[in-house]
Chains A and B, each alone.
Chain A
Amino acid sequence: MGFAHLDRYADRDSWLTSHTSPSQRIWIALAAAFAAGLMPAGAWRALAVLGIVIALGVWSARLPVSALARRVGQAVPFFLLPALALPISVPGPTAFEFGRLTLSEPGLMRAAEIVARATLAVSAVAVVVSITRSTDLLRGLDGLPLPRLVKSSLSLGYRYVYLLNDELDRTARAIRSRMGDASRLRLWRARASTLAHLFLRAHDRGTRIHAAMLSRGYHDRLPTLQPAATVSPVWTLAIAGLFAVIWLGGLMEAMV
C-alpha cells in the first residue's frame, strides 16, 4: 500500500508550481493559514478578500474544485462539530428559539467566524499539499525552524510507515484467521500485543537501519541526491506579503 492517492495532483504543471519551489509553497501555506486562522473577530471584509485570493490560488494551481472539496471536506468535522456547540453554550441575547433550545447571538456569530476562518486556512493548506509531492513536501520542511531530529523523524517515518502498515496487515490477517470468534477482551489483548510487537519490530529495524546507514558513511545528516529546485523567491515574498497585508487590514477593520 502507499500514500499514492495523496500525490494524485502533484505532477501537474501550473502557474503556482512553476513560480514557487516546494519549500516556498510551505511558507505560502503557512502565511495563508496564519492570516486566515488568526483573523480577528468581526473582520468580515478582510476574510472575504482573503477568500478571493485563496480562490485565485486554487485557480492558478489548476486544482479541480472537486479534489479540493474532498480534501477540505475531510477536515470539516474537526472544526464544524466544536463550532456547532457554541450557539448553544455561549451566553448572550437569544437569536433563535427552536422549542426549548435557544441559540445565542454571540455564539452564532463566533461559530460562523470560526467556520469561515477554518475553511479558508484548511483550503490554503490543501491546495499546497495537493500540488506538491509528499517527498518534496518533506524536503521542503528543511527550511522551517524545527529541530533536525523532528525533520528526520518525519522523512524516515514517511518512508517506513508503508512497511510497518503491511506488517500490521499480515498480523491482522493471522489474528482474524485464528481468533474469529474470540471475546472482545481477548481481541483487545491480541491487538495490544500486536501494538507491542509493532514497537519492538520498529526498534529492531531502527537498529539495523542505523548499522546500514553507518556502513554507507552516515554523519548525522540525511543526504539527498536530488538538488533542491532553485526558484526566485520574488513571487513567494509577494504572495506571503499580500496575506500579511490582508491580515493587517483585518486587524484595522476589527478595531474600527
Chain B
Amino acid sequence: MEGFGGGGGRRGYLDTVMAHIPDGFLSASVSAGTFAAAGAFTAVAARQAKARLDDRAAPTLGLATAAVFAAQAVNFPVAAGTSGHLLGGTLVAVAFGPWAGFLIMTAVVIAQALIFADGGLTALGANVFNIAGAGALLGYAVYRLLTGLAGEGPLRRGLAAAVAAYLAALLTGVAAGLELGLSGIAPTRLSVGAMASVHAVVGLAEAAITGLAVWSLTRKRPDLLFRPRGSTVAQPPPAVVLASLGVVAALTGVLAIIASTAPDGLERLAIDLGFADAASSWAAAPLAGYRAWIPGAVSTVVAVVLGMALLFAGTAATVRAVARVRGPKEG
C-alpha cells in the first residue's frame, strides 16, 4: 500500500509525536488541573451532543470515531519521504458539530493512549484538552466566524476550515508548551516556543488536508454538514464572534512574544553550534545597512529552522525504523 496507508495499525507520524504529551513529562499539579478541565469539558460536551443527537448520538459518534482512525492511516506525502496525516479535530467539528467533535476526539485520544501508547495516561487530561479542545472547539469557533463573514460556498468553507485547522494546530502546540513549562520541564518561553514552532509547520499539512476535505465534503453533500440549531444562514452569535476574536488575538500575542523574545535556548544552541557566526557573515553582505540587529535575528531563525529540520529528520528516521521493525502489513 505504497503511500496510502490503510494498514490499520497506527504508525507514529511527526504530528502525533509532537501533539501527544507522553507520561513522565507533566507534574502532579498540572496533570490534576488538566484532568479537571478536560473532565468538565467532556461532561458539557456529552450533555450538548446528547441534546442535539438524542439516541442517534451513539451510532453517529461511534462511526465518526472509526472514520477518524481510518482517516489517520491515509498518508499525505510531504517531501523527502516524510508524510503527514490528518489529526481531524476541526474536520469532525465541521462535519458533526463542535461538542460531538470534542467527544469523538476524546475517544480517539483515549484509544491512542491505551492501545498504541501514543500519549501518556497521566497526560490524558492534557492531551484531551489540547487536541480535542483546541481542534474541535476552537477550530469550530474560528470556522464559524469565518464562514459567517465570508459565506458558505465549497471554496469559502474549505478555506475557512483550513485557517481554523491551522490556528487549532498552533493552539494545540502552545497549550502543550505551556503545560510542559508549568511542569518545570523546561523554561516556559522555551517549551512554548519549541512546541509552537513545530506545530506551526505541522499545522500547514493539517490545514491543507482539512481544507481540501471540507471543500470536497461541501461539494458532495452540503446537507450533511453540521448546522447550528435555529439558523438557516450561519449567523454567529456575538459571543462566538467575540470569543473567536479573543482567541485569535491571544494567539497572535503569544506568537509575537515568542518571536520577540527568540527563545534563549535556541539562541544558545545557535552560538554553541557556531551557526551564529556563519549566519551573521552570510547575512551581512546583502543586508549591510541593518547589520546592527539582523545578525542575531537571522542566526536565531537559522538555528530554529536547522533545529526543526534535525528534529524532524531524527523523528522521521526513528519512526520509520520502528514502523519497519514492527512491520504493519502494507500490501
Contacts and interface: CB of A to CB of B under 8 A. Distances in A.
Interface of A: 1-3, 5-6, 29-30, 33-34, 36-38, 40-41, 70-82, 85-86, 88-91, 100-102, 110, 113-118, 121-122, 125-126, 129, 134, 137, 145-150, 152-165, 167-169, 172, 175-176, 184, 187-189, 191-203, 205-207, 209-210, 213-214, 218-220, 222
B229 interface: no
B273 A100 contact: yes
Given A164-B70, A195-B74, 16 more contacts: A76-B322, A77-B17, A78-B17, A88-B272, A101-B273, A122-B22, A129-B114, A137-B115, A149-B103, A164-B67, A165-B8, A176-B4, A195-B91, A195-B216, A199-B213, A209-B63
B65 A122 contact: no
A136 to B, nearest CB: 12
Main secondary structure of the interface of B (DSSP, over half): helix
Contacts of B315: 77, 81
B58 interface: yes
Main secondary structure of the interface of A (DSSP, over half): helix
Interface string B61-75: 111111101110110
B8 A161 contact: yes
B319 interface: yes
A63 to B, nearest CB: 15
A168 B7 CA distance: 10
A198 to B, nearest CB: 5
Given A114-B25, A152-B61, A193-B212, A147 B42 contact: yes
A59 B271 CA distance: 49
Contacts of A41: 184
B292 interface: no
Contact of A169 (B1, B12, B22, B214): B1
B104 interface: yes
Contacts of B25: 79, 82, 114, 118
A137 B20 CA distance: 22
A100 to B, nearest CB: 5
A29 B121 contact: yes
Contacts of A152: 58, 61-62
Contact of A161 (B20, B66, B77): B66
Interface of B: 1-2, 4-9, 12, 17, 20, 22-28, 31, 39, 42-43, 45-46, 49-50, 55-67, 69-71, 73-74, 76-77, 86, 91-92, 95, 103-104, 106-108, 110-111, 114-123, 184-187, 190, 194, 208-209, 212-217, 220-221, 224, 264-266, 268-269, 272-274, 311, 314-315, 318-319, 322, 325-326, 329, 331
26 contacts: A34-B121, A70-B326, A71-B117, A85-B194, A88-B269, A89-B194, A115-B24, A117-B23, A122-B23, A137-B115, A149-B61, A149-B103, A156-B59, A157-B65, A157-B107, A168-B5, A172-B1, A176-B2, A192-B216, A196-B216, A198-B71, A202-B66, A203-B60, A203-B64, A207-B59, A220-B55
Contact of B63 (A100, A102, A146, A156): A156
Given A81-B17, A118-B24, A203-B63, A222 B114 contact: no
A154 B107 contact: yes
Contacts of B67: 164, 198-199, 201-202
B114 A5 contact: no
Given A91-B268, A121-B120, A147 B46 contact: yes
B265 A160 contact: no
Contacts of A220: 55, 58
A199 B23 contact: no
A191 B76 contact: yes
A125 B24 contact: no
B24 A147 contact: no
Contacts of A90: 186-187, 265
Contacts of B185: 86, 110, 114
B107 A37 contact: no
Contacts of A89: 186, 190, 194, 265-266, 268-269
